[in-house]
């Protein structure tokens, strides 16, 4: 499968909204917005991040079709990666290839990531791209409605 990244277009956002409010995906990601089904909050959030020069956000294409998003955000000393793939396309290597491409496009190091400790798919994606577990945390996960264990990952310089 051919996986590539391009600039986010307005027409991608309704797809992102559907995938980022999918209850199974939201539960896996755990640390989500307060109400992922709130379209107004989603639109406001995406307007903010797409206008922020410190955020590198890309649309993931799989065989030319929009399949998800991947990006880097955060303050200079705590740059974090994030990604989200259409659930219908999980398990085909898209996130791994997309993150690898993002890491080539964004040379900043170190980079960090956080994932719910039980988000096995995300952990595997990060480890395949060279991140290692460097810390543990606990935080309130909106999607779970409770304190949830989190792993911190680092891709060193």
Closest distance between ligand COA and the C-beta of residue 16, in Å? 11
- Tally the residues of the chain: 157
- 17 binds ligand COA per the rule CB under 6 A: no
- 93 binds ligand COA per the rule CB under 6 A: yes
C-beta of 29 vs 66, nearer to ligand COA? 29
One residue of 11, 91, 107, 145 binding ligand COA per CB under 6 A: 91
CB 140 within 8 A of CB 147: yes
One residue of 16, 42, 46, 83 binding ligand COA per CB under 6 A: 83
Cα gap 38→34, rounded to integer Å: 9
Q: Kindly state the tokens that stand for 49.
A: 């991040």
Q: Is 28 helix (H, G, I), strand (E, B) or coil?
A: helix
Residue the block writes with tokens 């399949």: 67
Q: Is the peptide bond before 125 cis (omega within 30 degrees of 0)?
A: no
One residue of 25, 56, 61, 102 binding ligand COA per CB under 6 A: 25
- 141 binds ligand COA per the rule CB under 6 A: no
Q: How far is CA 78 from CA 109, 130, 137, in A?
A: 10, 17, 15
Q: Kindly state the tokens that stand for 61.
A: 């294409």
Closest residue to ligand COA, based on beta-carbon distance: 121
Stretch touching ligand COA by CB under 6 A, among 4-12, 43-51, 92-100, 136-144: 92-100
Tell me which residues in 99-128 interact with ligand COA (CB under 6 A): 115, 119-122, 124-125
- 48 binds ligand COA per the rule CB under 6 A: no
């Amino acid at each position: 499968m051919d996986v590539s990244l391009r600039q986010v277009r307005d027409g991608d956002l309704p797809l992102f909204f559907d995938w980022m409010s999918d209850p199974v995906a939201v539960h896996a990601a755990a640390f989500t917005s307060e109400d992922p089904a709130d379209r107004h909050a989603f639109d406001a959030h995406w307007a903010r991040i797409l206008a922020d020069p410190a955020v590198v956000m890309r649309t993931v294409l799989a065989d030319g079709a929009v399949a998800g998003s991947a990006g880097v955000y955060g303050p200079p000393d705590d740059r974090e990666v994030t990604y989200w793939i259409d659930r219908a396309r999980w398990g085909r290597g898209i996130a791994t290839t997309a993150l690898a491409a993002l890491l080539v496009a964004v040379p900043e190091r170190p980079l960090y990531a956080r994932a719910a400790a039980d988000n096995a798919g995300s952990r595997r994606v990060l480890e395949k791209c060279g991140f290692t577990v460097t810390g543990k945390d606990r935080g309130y996960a909106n999607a779970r409605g409770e304190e949830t264990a989190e792993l911190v990952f680092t891709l060193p310089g």
